[in-house]
Structures are given as C-alpha cells and as structure tokens.
C-alpha cells in the first residue's frame, strides 16, 4: 500500500474524528494507518492497525511513521509532540497546542533541533474563505475590526468527560480548559488569523474578562480584547465574546464578524458560510489539515497552520492561565435548565451581552452586563520571608460569597502553596481567615444559607468584612476590620493579628488571633448551620481551605481520620498531604494547629480539603459589649510529612 505512514495517538473524543478521516484517506491510498495509541482503549473497530498503550510502544512495535497525529489531553500535548519529533516524525497536533507558553517555546526549539514540522489542528484555518478575505473578494475594504462571537451550550455531562475538563490545573499541571482555550478556541484563532495577528510578537497585551456560571475552575463565559503590537493605524482590532451558558437548546453557529470600511461580513467558520454585506449567504470549502501536511511533505506546499503561526493564540492562552480565577456569576443571574447530566446554566441575557461587548470591541464590563465586574483582589500586606503570608483585600469576591480579607497564598518555607481561593465547589471559600455563617441573621460565610427543613437556600442576606486599617512589620500583620450586615449597617469591630516566625529550615510558626466586639451597645449572636439544626456541620470561626490534596492524613490528639476528628475538642489537629494547587508550588506538607479555646474542630477531606474551628458548633454564642470575643490559633507549618510529635515540640 502506498501513502504516508501515520500513527494516531488518542482514538477517543476528537481522536475518533481523526480516525474517520484516516479511514477515508487510507481508502484513497493517501495514507497508511500503521498504529493506534490509547492507554484506555482495549478494542477499536477493525482498521488493520495494531493498538498500543503508548507512543513509545508503538514506535518500538512498528517503527517511526511519517506523521504522528496527537489527539491527546491538553496536559500531555508537549510530551507526545516532542517524543514524535525526536523520533523523526512530523506532527499534526490537536488544538489548543499547549496550556502554557513555556511548552510552546520548548516545542518550537525541538522543531528547530529536529528539522521536523508541526501543524496545529485549527481546522477552521483551512477554510478558503480566509483567502477571500485576504484579497478582499467580498468587497468590504480595509478591515478595521475582527470580532469573534460564540453562544454555545455545554451540559453537565460535558464537564464530566475527563478529569481535566473545566480545570485550570490538575495535579499541579496546567490545563486551562475553558471556553476561550478549547471549545471556542477556533473562534479566537480564526479572528487572529483574519486580523493578521499570528505570532507571539504580534500581540501587545490581552485584556481578560472571565466568568463562570458552571461549578468549574476555568471560564465558561469570557470576553477578550487582544491589543496588537503594531502601531500601524491600519491594523484591525481583535476581540472575542464567548459563552457556554447560552439559552438555546442547541449550539448557535459561532461567527467571526469582519468589519471593513465598506461593509461587514460574518464568517460562520464551522460551516464555511459567509453572510455578506447584503445579507446573502455563500458557502465555501476548506483544505483538510492532514492533507495539507502531506502535501507539504511531498511537494513543499506551505503549511496552513504551522506551529509558530499559533504564537498569538498562545499569548491568549497564557493570559488566561495567569489571570485570576474567573469570577463566579451571581446565582440571581443564572437559571439552571434540565436535570442530571442534561442540566446546564443559562446566564441571563447572555446573547445580548455577547453582542454588546462585540459592538464595543471590548469586554462585558465595558458593555455594562449586570453580572460583570472589574473588581479584583489586591495584596494589601505580606509577612515572612518568601512571603509566607499574603493578605488579600477580597475585593474580587462577589456579594453572595460575602467579601472579606483573607490570607492567600500561605506557603511552606519550601514554597508549597497551602491555600485555595474561590474553588469551583465553594466560591466563598477564601484561603485562610475568620468568618461565621450567621451573625444576627447575616450570612458572612457566603453561599447559601442553611434553613432547617429546607437545606441551603440562596438568600439576599449576605454581609461583608470591611478592611479599615493595617499595621505590621516584617513578620506580622494586624488588620482592623468591621463586619457589615445585610443592610449595610456595622455589626462587629475586629482586630485580627497574623504572625509568622521561622523555626527550622523546613518549618515555621503560625500565630493567628482575633478579637471581636459589637459596634452598638447590644449583644451580637454568632451562629452556624449546626446551631440551626444541621448535624455535625457547625462550621464557622477560623477556616483554612486547602488546594487539591492527595494522600490525606488527618488526626487529632484523641482521634484519627476525617469522621473521628470532625467535632472533636482535641488540643491539636494535624493535616498532612500532597498539595497540588498552583503548578510549580506543589508537594508534601504538614500542618499542626492548636486552639486557645476548646471549640470543636471542623474537618473536611472527602468532599473537599479544609480544616477550621467551630465557635458555634451546636449552639449560638454571644459577643457582648465590653467583653471581647477572642479566638487564637498557633500552629506549625512544615515541608514534607512530619509526625505530630516532631511538630508539637515547637509549641511547648
């Protein structure tokens, strides 16, 4: 059989599309499919090619192919592509090419080193409509604005399709699987291509306005403004307004709107249709990217999507990776349609706001969407070398998550990050801080309010903590705060002290203290879900939300394991685990805490990783005028897994 030899890595998901295309080309004699690779597949419809668990096994079994098609999870794109190039194969790499710019730069170097080529699988960039736009066959004149718009629906099942779905990182590895970088990545890449903004150096900056309506880490509703580096007045502006939380029962065709001096056209890149200035719809054709790669190998035909031409798109990916976590869209602006795996959120009037942002070549904030916010957390103080403690003002917290200052990140001396901010499962979990769920009927914890007999109910009853003053030195931070109720009235004054002190080369001492007093000359009651009837859920007080953890060991002086430690009044509690939050700041660590008061310990390990104290475990407590309510923690934070005895000696 003639034709280029091909190995397909990944036969599930979009790999199945590649497999169908390979069957077509093999029947035409253009390729020979010599191996399939997928560690999770044990059988494939007969294609006359053996199945291997890894690319290395395939190379050893059938030799080096002419082309490797990599349709693998985003986190392993770089590894698989580099292995194929170094073996001597050319690569068709599925989009998005990588989750971080460093991998892009590394593979460019490998490509130069090996002399092989990489074509990136942005199928829309094979459309012949792009050629028509390049030479203005549509008669719109010089292009001034290029606007990508997409209003898609993604149901709950979509986010369950793989462990990395909807994640910014997984097990300490960047993923960046959001609307911009994966499902509607073609919209962004196509807009950049039309605008002639393709290489890394073509981009001055990327303004990110990212949100999430789903309970995911990544973005599902985002607007971008991509500012070109060129100072040429003829350079078009580029923007994108995209959502996976639209109102339709099916995906609307995403479009790239191209605005010229003499008219506007809309390119429906999924169908190669163009709506002209007069409203007429014409259909185009496209070149298959694998066939283009084969033609490049055989005859030197230019690649349509060479790796270096995706540099501008990688600037977008890098901007998404390094941006703060997407802002959660307030529940009052979201309707959940359907149930189970068919459930999906619909953001109120999102189609209108996509259009409005595009018209401004800007963001949802620019357009005035009621759920959009430009507020972001700001670092207001640090303590300890590294630093070990970073105090955020909490300005980026939405009202229903009860805005408040918090520590994040908290780190070990070795740099392991020990806090999480606004995780997908609980947007109102904010690093390390002090707060309670019920302050005279105001929810200062965030999220739903527990109502006995009804469970958690979304109510307009959230308060906030206002940062009034800061003092400190190299090792400590003292914050003066006011707790504000649901109606905007001041409730409590708080003085919170946070201190760090090195102990050994691999551990340091953490000291936390808070003192609360009523603002008015009357008592204030602190409550919890437990005090309102929820069994073993009296959380509220000091609370430390951890990033994803594995190999969790949780114990106390008189208990071992999550169930046993939950609710115990033991003098100390210990948490050891492998922490896998921000890439580059992961590893094993141990935390041992002691409390100044015999409050029960609140622990979660199965549902999410976190630990805290419970000042109102089963009964409310009262903060009275003239009698400050004081709670303190002392603890040891250590790199590695350390036994309790080794850490307790530092607290003696």
The pLDDT of residue 42 is 76
DSSP character at residue 540? B
Model pLDDT for residues 412-429, shown as the tens digit of each residue: 999 999 999 999 999 999
Model pLDDT for residues 278-301, shown as the tens digit of each residue: 999 999 999 999 999 999 999 999
Residue 174 neighbours by CB under 8 Å, 6+ apart: 75, 99, 100, 168, 321, 583
Is the pLDDT at 501 greater than 70? The verdict is yes
Is the pLDDT at 188 greater than 70? The verdict is yes
Is the pLDDT at 250 greater than 90? The verdict is no
47 confidence band (pLDDT: 50, 70, 90): confident
644 confidence band (pLDDT: 50, 70, 90): very high
**Strands, E, within 281-331: which ranges?**
281-283, 327-328
CB 240 within 8 A of CB 180: yes
Among all chains, which residue has been given the structure tokens 């509690």?
Answer: 573
Q: From CA 138, how far away is CA 134, in angstroms rounded? A: 10
The pLDDT of residue 233 is 78
Tokens of 282: 């014409």
Q: From CA 149, how far away is CA 555, in angstroms rounded? A: 51
User: For the residues 630-649, what does the mean pLDDT come to?
Assistant: 98
Among the listed ranges 37-51, 458-472, 565-579, which one has the minimum average pLDDT value?
A: 37-51
The pLDDT of residue 46 is 65
CB 210 within 8 A of CB 320: yes
Is the pLDDT at 3 greater than 80? The verdict is yes
Model pLDDT for residues 94-118, shown as the tens digit of each residue: 999 999 999 999 999 999 999 999 9
The pLDDT of residue 523 is 99
Q: From CA 438, how far away is CA 463, in angstroms rounded? A: 10
User: For the residues 154-174, what does the mean pLDDT come to?
Assistant: 96
Is the pLDDT at 245 greater than 80? The verdict is yes
Is the pLDDT at 1 greater than 60? The verdict is no
The pLDDT of residue 41 is 83
User: For the residues 155-164, what does the mean pLDDT come to?
Assistant: 96
Between 8 and 45, the more confident residue is 8
Tokens of 174: 């960047």
Of 595, 525, 506, 589, give the one whose Cα is nearest residue 553: 589
Identify the sign of the CA torsion 184, 186, 191, 195. positive
CA 428 and chain centroid, separation: 16
Q: From CA 337, how far away is CA 343, in angstroms rounded? A: 5
User: For the residues 241-253, what does the mean pLDDT come to?
Assistant: 93
Among all chains, which residue has been given the structure tokens 């460019």?
Answer: 108
- Percent of the chain surpassing pLDDT 90: 97
What's the length of the chain?
652
CA 2 and chain centroid, separation: 45
The pLDDT of residue 80 is 98
Cis peptide before 387 (omega within 30 of 0): yes
User: For the residues 618-625, what does the mean pLDDT come to?
Assistant: 98
């Amino acid at each position: 059989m003639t034709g280029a030899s091909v190995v397909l890595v990944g036969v599930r998901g979009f790999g199945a599309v590649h497999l169908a295309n390979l069957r077509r080309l093999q029947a035409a004699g253009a390729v020979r499919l010599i191996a399939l690779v997928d560690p999770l597949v044990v059988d494939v419809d007969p294609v006359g090619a053996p199945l291997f668990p890894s690319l290395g096994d395939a190379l050893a079994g059938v030799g080096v192919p002419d082309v490797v098609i990599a349709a693998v999870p985003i986190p392993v794109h770089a590894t698989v592509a580099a292995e194929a190039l170094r073996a001597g194969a050319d690569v068709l790499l599925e989009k998005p090419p990588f989750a971080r710019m460093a991998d892009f730069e590394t593979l460019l170097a490998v490509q130069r080193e090996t002399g092989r080529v990489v074509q990136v699988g942005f199928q829309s960039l094979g459309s012949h409509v792009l050629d028509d736009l390049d030479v203005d066959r549509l008669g719109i004149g010089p292009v001034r604005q290029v606007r990508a718009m997409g209003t898609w629906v993604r149901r709950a099942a979509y986010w369950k399709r793989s462990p990395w779905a909807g994640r910014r990182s997984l097990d300490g590895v960047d993923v960046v699987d959001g609307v911009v970088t994966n499902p509607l990545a073609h919209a962004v890449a196509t807009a950049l291509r039309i605008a002639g903004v393709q290489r890394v150096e073509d981009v001055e900056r990327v303004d990110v306005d990212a949100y999430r309506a789903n309970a995911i880490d990544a973005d599902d509703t985002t607007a971008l403004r991509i500012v070109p580096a060129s100072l040429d007045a003829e350079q078009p502006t580029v923007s994108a307004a995209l959502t996976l939380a639209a109102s339709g029962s099916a995906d609307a065709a995403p479009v790239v709107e191209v605005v010229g001096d003499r008219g506007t056209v809309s390119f429906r890149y999924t169908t190669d249709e163009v709506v002209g200035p007069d409203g007429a719809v014409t259909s185009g054709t496209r070149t298959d990217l694998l066939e283009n790669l084969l033609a490049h190998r055989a005859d030197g035909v230019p690649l349509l999507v060479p790796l270096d031409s995706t540099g501008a798109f990688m600037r977008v990916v890098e901007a998404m990776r390094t941006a703060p976590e997407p802002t959660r869209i307030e529940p009052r602006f979201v309707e959940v349609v359907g149930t189970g795996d068919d459930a999906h959120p619909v953001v109120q009037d999102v189609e209108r706001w996509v259009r409005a942002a595009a018209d401004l070549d800007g963001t949802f904030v620019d357009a005035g969407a009621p759920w959009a916010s430009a507020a972001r957390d700001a670092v207001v103080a640090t303590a300890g070398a590294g630093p070990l403690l970073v105090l955020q003002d909490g300005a980026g917290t939405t009202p229903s998550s009860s805005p408040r200052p918090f520590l994040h990140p908290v780190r070990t001396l070795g740099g392991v990050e020990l806090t999480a901010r606004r995780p997908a499962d609980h947007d109102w979990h904010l690093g390390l801080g002090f707060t309670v769920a019920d302050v005279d009927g105001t929810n200062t914890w965030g999220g739903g309010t527990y109502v006995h007999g009804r469970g958690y109910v979304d109510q307009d009853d959230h308060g906030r903590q206002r940062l009034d003053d800061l003092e400190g030195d190299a090792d400590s931070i003292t914050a003066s705060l006011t707790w504000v109720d649901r109606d905007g009235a001041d409730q409590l004054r708080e003085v919170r002290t946070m201190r760090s002190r090195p102990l050994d080369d691999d551990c340091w001492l953490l000291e936390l203290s808070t003192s609360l007093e009523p603002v008015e000359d009357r008592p204030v009651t602190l409550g919890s879900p437990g005090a309102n009837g929820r069994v073993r859920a009296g959380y509220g007080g000091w609370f430390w939300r951890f990033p994803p953890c594995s190999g969790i060991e949780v114990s106390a002086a008189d208990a071992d394991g999550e169930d046993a430690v939950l609710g115990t009044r033991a003098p100390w509690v210990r948490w050891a685990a492998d922490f896998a939050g921000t890439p580059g700041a992961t590893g094993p660590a141990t935390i041992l805490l002691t409390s100044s008061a015999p409050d029960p310990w609140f622990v979660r390990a199965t549902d999410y990783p976190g630990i805290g104290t419970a000042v109102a475990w089963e009964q409310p407590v009262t903060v009275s005028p003239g009698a400050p309510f004081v709670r303190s923690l002392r603890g040891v934070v250590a790199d590695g897994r350390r036994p309790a005895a080794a850490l307790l000696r530092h607290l003696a």
